[in-house]
Amino acid sequence: MGKSKGKQRKQVTLPPELPPEITEDEIEVSDEDLQFVDENTDYAGFVSRLDTHSITRQVTRVEGLSEDALEALYEKRRRKALEQKENEKSVVQVDPLDALPVKTLDGEVYYRTFSQIPEVAENEEGNEDKSIVKLTKAERRAKLKRSKKEAKKQGKELAKTEEVQPTQQEAVLAEVKEDLMVEETFETKKCKLAELGMALLADPESNIKSLKEMLQFAKDGDHSIVKLGLLSLLAVFKDIIPGYRIRLPTEKELEMKVSKEVKKMRFYESTLLSAYKGYLQKLLALDKQPIFHHVVVRCICTLLDAVPHFNFRESLLGAVVRNIGSSDDVVRRLCCATIKSLFTNEGKHGGEATVEAVRLIADHVKAHDCQLHPDSVEVLMSLSFDEDLGKPEVQVGNNKMKNKKNKKRKNIEETNQIQGNDRKKGKREMMAKMKEEVAADYKAVAYTPDVEERKKMQSETLSAVFETYFRILRHTTQSSVASSEANGSTAPGASGAHPLLAPCLSGLGKFSHLIDLDYIGDLVNYLKRLASGGSNSDGSAQKVQNMTVSECLRCCIVAFKVMRSNLDALNVDLQDFFVQLYNLVLEYRPGSRDQGEVLAEALKIMLCDDRQHDMQKAAAFVKRLATFSLCFGSAESMAALVTLKNLLQKNVKCRNLLENDAGGGSVSGSIAKYQPHASDPNLSGALASVLWELDLLSKHYHPTISTLASSISGMNTAQNQVYLSISPQQAFINLSLEQESFNPKFSTQKSNNKRKRGTGPSTLASINPTSIDENEVSKKLSRHFMLLRDIKENERVRGELDRTKSSLQLYEEYKKQTKSLKHKTKKSKKRLPVN
């Protein structure tokens, strides 16, 4: 601003340009102008008072100069003013010798510049313009003061800009210094943590106060320091926590006088317990932050596994059970491994942690409405129960000794009462109380509780386990029935709606011998309803409930295991489960290995391990298994053929199915006609059929299956006896493992048939049978069917695209028509005459 004001003052001192010269002859004054001036003398009176002499001297004329000299003087002044303006705007670059250039981070080099301020000699200006402008001394002093003030202001502004805007190199140096400072602080904190931890591990009692100092590192702003602090505290607590549960002294105990060692021990225990509590609170608070989730879960699981007997176990168990069904695989596996370790190593906590964990799992399943990861219930399979717990042990000798001791004690008490020695009696009572307290404390810290408590804890654990299993069964049944009633069929996208059913059925099968008899009836009813989810009552393959074939087979297996373990106490008809198995065999689709093992286990438990079956039912299963063997892989076919041979050996009358006569398998009398699509095996009439499938199976590409099928056709028990000693499960596993490295070999026979003239080589002769592989054929077929499906899907999508295009075109035409109609209506309104 000061600079601009100086410029304005310099422009004022310069004389203005001369007006255009007009002769007096050209000036015309009208009568109206004279009349206006005469009438308004008050407004135009100042004209008469003007100093015309000074005006002519300043503006119009210069004394003592001719017109040519006057024009040259004006031109010289004009030229000088223009030069001054150009000098003020010009910027001078600093010489590279005087100042080094500056290189930016982008790699550009630039030199410093400054604006040149012209210095006008006042003396020369005064000499040149002496005849035109004359400044007084006061005006010159004021002008000098203003110029000095403007110079000071400009210097201050430049200093401020330099301070506010540092160079880029200084900014980079500042960032590097900050990074170095951060690294130095990190290293110092890391070393401090290591020193405190080593001191605590070396002498915990003397350095117990360092725990609170280490706990402060877990509250640091740096995430890396927080993680290091948590892990360091984990290692310290894991090492210094005692093997007993700390009980803080009561108020009465604190008032008592104790020795220095007892005081020291109390201080150590109280400090340890308070620091451990703060550590757990910090872990639970950080568990909600994703960046610390993995570290916190690892710390909690390690502590629970290492010191399950110590204080605040409930908080650790709650955190682990909450994460047992996490979507994160690492967290879920870590929590499941910790729970399994608690179940298998009950010596560390005496079984109390097992009861608490099972109860928390039951509540967790209930809170999430049975929609959890299967691992959250599968951990219950690691439980083990002592069946002989609590049985009375009769020892006559010990009872006699105990009776003698009791009699002696009674006699002593009687004699003491007779003697009336009150002092000894009080001393004895006090000693007895102290012994009871010591026994109670020892019992509290002991790892092995007595038999009664173990029996109580085992019953509580069993009740919680079966409560969880029955809740899962009830939820599955109710949700399936509700979905079938609401939609009439399986709801779309509802696959996997019962994730806990498979581990629930496995657990029921394992602990079936421990189920109370009062609940077996309800359990069998639930299993019947679930097993019937695979098919309708008429045997059709339509799904009524959202149940897979594998789950329905597991329901049948569990029902047989439960009834076998309680066979003496119950008499329940299992015919419905045989009907379900008869229908599920046809619904089976080869998939994973686990599904095939489930089918093999069902065949073993329900058909092979059972006693002799009814002739009609056995014949129906024999025919159904023979048909099944033709449709699926070699492992499934092997399990079915082993079961078929077992049934034929147990039921001699069913061997009539091997006869190829007109009457089928009939021996005498009229037999119902064979109905292959019947849902009940007793009504299928399988005795009227023939096992023609064995003839095809004897030509199977796998030599083991062809040999077994041939032996069944001849019922030669001397040959291939090995298949009677193995179960369907073992046969399935053996053949599935062998199939991975199996390479079928075919014997080619030369045909003597003469080829016709003009025909090329036949396609059958050109095929190399040794190159045929079942896996390759299945892959080719799958690719073929996938291609067909993609073609159909492409056609469907193209049809939808054409329909959408046509609808869009119709919409565009509609918009055009509406626009034209609106335009026409506007035109018609404009043309209407206005009244």
Q: How far is CA 773 from CA 358, 500, 638, 669, 742, in A?
A: 50, 38, 19, 48, 9
Same domain, 737 and 780: no
Same domain, 123 and 214: no
Q: What is the pLDDT of residue 417?
A: 58
Angle at CA 94, nearest 5°, toward 91 and 99?
Answer: 155
Q: Which three-class secondary structure string do you get for 21-44?
A: CCCCCCCCCCHHHHHHHHHCCCCC
Distance CA 309, CA 447 (A): 9
Q: What is the pLDDT of residue 571?
A: 64
Q: What is the pLDDT of residue 163?
A: 54
With respect to residue 804, please indicate whether it lies within any of the assigned structural domains: yes
Stated pTM of the model: 0.61
As given in the structure block, the two tokens for residue 415 are: 């004699």
With respect to residue 550, please indicate whether it lies within any of the assigned structural domains: no
Residue in the block written with tokens 């959890």: 372
Same domain, 227 and 369: yes
Same domain, 26 and 86: yes
Low-confidence ranges of the chain (pLDDT < 70): 1-26, 44-45, 53-67, 87-99, 112-138, 156-169, 387-425, 441-450, 480-497, 533-546, 567-572, 591-594, 611-612, 660-672, 716-725, 737-773, 829-835
**Cα–chain center distance at 662:** 66
Same domain, 610 and 736: yes
Q: Which of 558, 461, 551, 463 is nearest to 499 (CA)?
A: 551
Same domain, 702 and 800: no
Range of the structural domain that residue 623 is part of: 604-741
Last residue of a domain, one of 741, 765, 795: 741
Asked if residue 567 lies in contact with residue 604, where contact means CB atoms within 8 angstroms, the answer is no
With respect to residue 302, please indicate whether it lies within any of the assigned structural domains: yes
**Residue type (1 letter), 302:** T
Same domain, 782 and 734: no
Last residue of a domain, one of 378, 407, 426: 378
With respect to residue 217, please indicate whether it lies within any of the assigned structural domains: yes
Same domain, 230 and 365: yes
With respect to residue 460, please indicate whether it lies within any of the assigned structural domains: no
With respect to residue 392, please indicate whether it lies within any of the assigned structural domains: no
Tell me how crowded residue 16 is: count the other CB atoms within 10 A of its CB.
Answer: 9
Q: What is the pLDDT of residue 390?
A: 44
Q: What is the pLDDT of residue 468?
A: 93
Q: What is the pLDDT of residue 425?
A: 66
Q: What is the pLDDT of residue 294?
A: 92
Same domain, 7 and 77: yes
Same domain, 617 and 714: yes
With respect to residue 757, please indicate whether it lies within any of the assigned structural domains: no
Same domain, 255 and 363: yes
Any alpha helices (H) in 165-209, and if so which ranges? 168-202
With respect to residue 536, please indicate whether it lies within any of the assigned structural domains: no
Same domain, 228 and 360: yes
Report the number of distinct structural domains present in the chain: 4
Last residue of a domain, one of 66, 100, 134: 134
Q: What is the pLDDT of residue 562?
A: 84
3-state secondary structure of 545: coil
Per residue in 171-195, pLDDT (tens digit) is 777 777 777 777 888 888 888 888 9
